[in-house]
Amino acid sequence: MPFYLNVLGVECTYGAVKVIDGMTLAISQGSFAGIIGPNGSGKSTLLRCISRALKPVRGTVLLEGESLYSLGSREAARKMAVVPQETAVNFPFTVEEIIMMGRSPHLGRFQVEGEKDFEIAGRSMDLTNTRHLAGRLITALSGGERQRVIIAKALAQEPELILLDEPTSHLDINQQVEILSLLQRMNKESGLTILAVFHDLNLAAQYCDRMVLMQRGQAYQVGKPEEVLTADNIKEVYGTRVLIKKHPVTGRPTVFLLTQGGQETAGKGRIHVICGGGAGAAVLGLLAGLGYEVSAGVLNAGDIDWETASFLELRMTEEDPFSDISDRSHKENLEMLRGADACVLVSIPFGRGNLKNLEAASQACEWGKPVLLVEEQEIEERDFTGGEAAQRYNQLKRQGAFVLRDRAEVPDVLAGLLPVRT
C-alpha cells in the first residue's frame, strides 16, 4: 500500500546552518508515529517543515502523492492540523471561540458557523474535557488547560493528519495519559494519522506504533518501538547508557537510565544570552538544561531574567533596578561575550537605557562569533528610541546575525554551529 506521508530528501536551514540534512521518511495512513531524538537533532524543525511553517531548501513533502507546498492554505488546513509546542495566545478569546476557529477551513469566505460546526466543536470539547472552560478566556488558563484547548481546536478541524510538538509538555501525569489515550483512541477508531514529537521516550513507546529516532538532522532508525528503542541506539544517539525492559502490562519497551559511573560528559560550549525583563528566562533555562555553559547580561537586579539566572547559578552582569546600562556593566558584558562561543539576543524591547546591548551584539559579530537573533516580535514594535534601535538591530543582520522566529529553534541552530568539545 502506498505511503500516506512522504518526506523526500528534505534539507532545511536557518541561514547558513543546515538543520535537516537530506531527510527521507515515509508514514502510512492511520499510523501513530513518534519523533524522538536529543535536543538539537532537528525534531521540531522537521515538524515545522511538514506543517509548511518552514519550506525546505531542497526536497519536498508529499501528502497522498501531492506536494504539501502546492496546496492552498484552506485545503491544507482541512487535511492537516498542527499543535505547536508553545500554545500561548496573546488575545483574550474565550475557549469556545478558540475551538470554533478550527472550523474556519470548512467555511466559505463570508459563511458563518452553522449547527453542524457547533456540534463538532462541542464534541471536540467533550473529547478533551474542556467544555466546562467554554466561557473562560484563553489567557486565564493554566498551561495544561490551554494545551487541551489547542488540541480541541485541532480536532475541530476534522483533519486526516495531526502534527503535535511535545503535546504533553505542560501536562501532569494524569493529563498526559488522558490526552495520549484520546489521541490513540481517535487513531484506532477514526483512522486519524498522528505524527508527534516526544521528549519522554517511555511515553512515546507506550502510545506509538512507529518511532523515528533522529540524529543530526537525519533519521537514524525508523521502525516499531522495540526496533528503535534499543540500548545500542540510545547510547549511540543520546550518548547515555540505558537498560531496556518490557513493560509488565503492555509488553512495550521501557527505558531505565543507568548511572554514568563518573563518565565525563562532552561540553557543548559557552553561550552568552543578552536578555532582560523576563524575555530570556525560557532560553536561559533551556540552554542550561541542555548542558551549555550559560552567561547572561545586562540584567537589572530583581527582574525575572535576573531571578532565573540567579536560581540557575549562571554567571551574569547586572545593574541596579530600573537603571540604565553603565560603562562598567557594558564592559563586563563585553568580557563575557569575548569568552563565549556564541551569543543569543532574545526578543527584548529597547529604550535609550539598554542600547548598549545592541552595541555588545554588534561587537560579537565583529569578533566573528555567531549571533542568534530571536525575533518573536518585529523590532519596530519594540523600539522605543525613535528608530535608533531598529537601525542598529538591522545592522546586526547585515553583519551576518542569524534570525530565528521562535526560541525553540535555538538548540537546533546552535547544534549546527558549534562543534562538540571533548
Domain with residue 186: its CATH number is 3.40.50.300
Domain final residue pick, 202, 230, 258: 230
What is the torsional sign of CA 271, 274, 276, 278? negative
- Identify residue 294 by its one-letter amino acid code: V
Q: What is the pLDDT of residues 354-367, one digit of tens each?
A: 999 999 999 999 99
Same domain, 197 and 274: no
Q: What's the CATH number where 360 sits?
A: 3.40.1190.20
| Residue 225 placed within a domain | yes
State how many domains the chain has: 2
Residue length of the chain: 422
Same domain, 282 and 225: no
Cis before 283? omega within 30: no
Same domain, 42 and 103: yes
Q: Higher model confidence: residue 97 or residue 282?
A: 97
Q: What is the pLDDT of residues 364-379, one digit of tens each?
A: 999 999 999 999 889 9
Question: What is the pLDDT, as a whole number, of residue 88?
Answer: 64
Same domain, 215 and 283: no
Question: What is the pLDDT, as a whole number, of residue 1?
Answer: 43
Q: Identify whether the C-beta of residue 318 lies closer than 8 Å to the C-beta of residue 326.
A: no
C-alpha gyration radius of the chain: 23
Between the CA of residue 235 and those of 70, 153, 340, what are the distances in Å?
40, 38, 29
**pLDDT confidence band for 148 (50 / 70 / 90):** confident
Same domain, 31 and 173: yes
Same domain, 177 and 121: yes
Q: Per-residue DSSP letters for 362-377?
A: HHHHHTT--EEEE-SS
What is the torsional sign of CA 345, 364, 39, 299? negative
| Residue 63 placed within a domain | yes
Same domain, 223 and 284: no
Question: Could you tell me how far CA 302 lies from the centroid of its own chain?
Answer: 28
Q: What is the pLDDT of residues 197-241, one digit of tens each?
A: 999 999 999 999 999 999 999 999 999 999 999 989 999 999 887
Same domain, 225 and 274: no
Count CB neighbours of 129 within 10 A: 15
Cell numbers describing residue 269: 560550549
| Residue 263 placed within a domain | no
Rounded to an integer, the average pLDDT of 56-61 is 93
Using CA atoms of 275, 276, 278, 279 in order, give the dihedral in degrees to the nearest 10.
Answer: -40
Same domain, 56 and 179: yes
Same domain, 281 and 192: no
Supply the range of the domain harboring residue 368: 270-417
